[in-house]
Amino acid sequence: MALSTLLATFLCTIVLPILLFLVAVKLWEVYMIRGRDPSCPSPLPPGSMGLPFIGETLQLILQRRKFLRMKRQKYGYIYRTHLFGNPTVRVAGADNVRQILLGEHRLVSVQWPASVRTILGSDTLSNVHGAQHKTKKKAIMRAFSREALELYIPVIQEEVQAAVKEWLAKDSCVLVYPEMKRLMFRIAMRILLGFEPEQIRTDEQQLVEAFEEMIKNLFSLPIDVPFSGLYRGLKARNFIHSKIEENIKKKVQESDKESKHRDALQQLIDSSRKNGEALSMQAIKESATELLFGGHETTASTATSLVMFLGLNPEAVDRLRQELMEKEEQGMDLQNLNIESLEQLKYTGCVIKETLRINPPVPGGFRVALKTFELNGYQIPKGWNVIYSICDTHDVAEIFPNKEDFQPERFMTKPSTDSSRFQYIPFGGGSRMCVGKEFAKVLLKIFLVEVVTKCHWTLLNGPPTMKTGPTVYPVDNLPTKFTSYVQN
């Protein structure tokens, strides 16, 4: 009797819940697969939909690139999953990504997860569509014109030189990733939002910490309850908004005054007035927050990767120094750079391209299917999310032999065919290509010139483990020892 009671207890407390859980998972899978469009004869992509309601979101958040690599190896370049509350198809490979990026407004439309839209705002450049997107993009592009970039160079050099001086003065190691975030944050605040250095110094630490909290929770389950990721992300965002509102009001009051330089935020304010639109403080704050996110988080990630790859490949540092020495002998003034001189630094540009190939700071982009369509033999149902993968596409690109090796010289010659166009997409593509890509290239080249001409450095932990959250970063923050470099 006691044995049968024990058996019944075991069945009720352990076996039955497990069976119910497995049945729930199977019913969830069947329910989600019923979302396929019966009018389309093609099957859904292979894959799995994960746990009921939360899908595979937790695995993605916890494992990131490891999870994505495992899924690609198991299911191929196109597979289905369930992420951030939505059935999703993840797409990799140049031909597949080309159809997604060139299908904007026809097959797909941009749609970031609900948590991103909630935190960044629905009226930001990354979330608006049609005429509104064109108007906003045009205004911001004026702030990234060749003439505007020329004016930014002295500010960038000033900030990078000050940071390098601090790193060299430290007896202890420098945690490169946090330092890069602070450096790029200061540059973005000055150039993109027009903040004065004194304003930045007052609130820098609090703003950097708030941004870290906001970014950490940008991709989270869309549940706004106390202590949830979305709740913490919104709280951090509200703090950021409160800090930049005063500066925005000042800019609005002074926007009629003549100015040699208009930053990206001022361009948006001017464009809004020119088009006779109502000037919404909330919309401007959201745009400012988006500019800061796009303008410093991605460049901080890439600058960190540059220090890492060059620290692991001293022969590339030697070649960089050789190029800079030759340009100096030809009359280039490295202390007073300009757009023309930066364009002459071909190998320097290749180092940046190779870094973006191996470690693209943004792993992919989000779209939603406007109608059911076919992609490489599979159906993508209307309303499903589509993620195109930048990192996976680079990983499988046929034009790059020896993909695991850091070889900047591979970019010294241009590919002979147009088929390479979507095999290398660190800035995305199509009408949604990153508007700040030329700004990023200028900033990173200046950074390399300053670091390579003034520093030796050693990675104290060797090659780090890299994670994505939402941009690529080293888990150990890349502890590094910088010492002065004296040219022979």
Q: At what angle do helices 314-329 and 346-358 cross, to 10 degrees?
A: 150
Tokens found for residue 422: 């979507």
Query: What's the one-letter identity of residue 337?
Result: L
- Containing 321, the helix (H) or strand (E) segment is helix 314-329
Instruction: Report the alpha-carbon distance of residue 127 to residue 116 in Å, rounded.
Output: 9
**Alpha-carbon Rg for the chain in angstroms:** 24
Dihedral, 343, 363, 405, 303 alpha carbons, nearest 10: 50
Q: What is the pTM of this model?
A: 0.86
- Containing 456, the helix (H) or strand (E) segment is strand 455-459
CB 183 within 8 A of CB 304: no
* Cβ-based neighbour number of residue 475 at 10 Å: 12
- State the pLDDT at residue 133: 79
DSSP conformation class of 39: T
How long, in residues, is the chain? 488
- State the pLDDT at residue 277: 64
Collapse the DSSP code of 78 into the 3-class scheme (helix H, G, I; strand E, B; otherwise coil) and give the result. strand
Torsion angles phi and psi, residue 27, rounded to 5? -60, -40
- State the pLDDT at residue 339: 95
DSSP class per residue in 225-284:
STTSHHHHHHHHHHHHHHHHHHHHHHHHHHTTS--S---HHHHHHHHHHHTT----HHHH
List the strands of the sheet with 364-369, edge to edge: 78-83, 86-91, 385-389, 364-369, 108-110
Instruction: Report the alpha-carbon distance of residue 267 to residue 265 in Å, rounded.
Output: 5
CB 45 within 8 A of CB 72: no
pLDDT tens, per residue, the chain with 488 residues = 566 676 666 566 776 666 655 555 555 455 555 567 788 889 999 998 888 777 888 888 777 778 888 898 999 999 999 888 889 999 999 999 999 999 988 999 988 888 888 888 877 777 777 777 787 788 788 888 898 899 899 999 999 999 999 999 988 899 999 999 999 999 998 888 888 787 777 777 888 888 889 888 888 878 888 888 889 999 999 998 888 887 777 776 765 555 555 677 777 777 667 766 655 778 888 888 888 887 888 999 999 999 999 999 999 999 999 999 999 999 999 999 999 999 999 999 999 999 999 999 988 899 999 999 999 999 999 999 999 999 999 999 989 999 999 999 999 987 655 556 899 999 988 888 888 899 999 999 999 999 999 999 999 998 998 888 778 899 999 999 999 987 76
Strand partners, 439: none
* Cβ-based neighbour number of residue 258 at 10 Å: 4
- State the pLDDT at residue 387: 93
